[in-house]
Amino acid sequence: MTIILSPEETARWEEGGWLSLEIQETVLEDIERQHITEPVVMTLAHGTVAFGVTGGEVR
């Protein structure tokens, strides 16, 4: 499964630091809440891969 971050989220991700962490943790919470068990690839709005999630953890 691939999830694409919005342009606003992409901008925050690219800021780095706490803003990135906030997005990463929000994504993990969403995945857990929706009981998604398959691997997830998070991509930025412009198509670059941000990170992957398997087994509830960022890879």
Partner 1 sequence: MATSTSLHSKGATTARSVWRETVAEVAERATQMLPECHGRIEAAVKMILAGDVELLPEGKAKVASQSNGTTEYIVCNGTCECKDFPKAPNGWCKHRISAGILKRVEERLQSTVSSPRDDHADPLSDAPVESPHGIDPRFITYLHGKPFIRYAGLLAMAHERGLVSLEATFISVTDQLALATATAVFSDGRRFTECADATPTNVPPHIRPHFPRMALTRCKARVLRDALNIGMVAMEELGEGE
Residues that bind partner 1 (CB under 8 A): 15-22, 24, 51, 55-59
Region of 29 (left: φ > 0; alpha: ψ -120 to 50; beta: rest) is alpha
Q: How far is the CB of 43 from partner 1 (least distance, A)?
A: 14
Residue pair 58/21 in contact by the 8 Å Cβ criterion: no
Nearer to partner 1 (CB atom), residue 3 or residue 28:
28
Q: How far is the CB of 57 from partner 1 (least distance, A)?
A: 7
Within 8 A by CB and 6+ apart from 49, the residues are: 41, 42, 43
Q: How far is the CB of 5 from partner 1 (least distance, A)?
A: 14
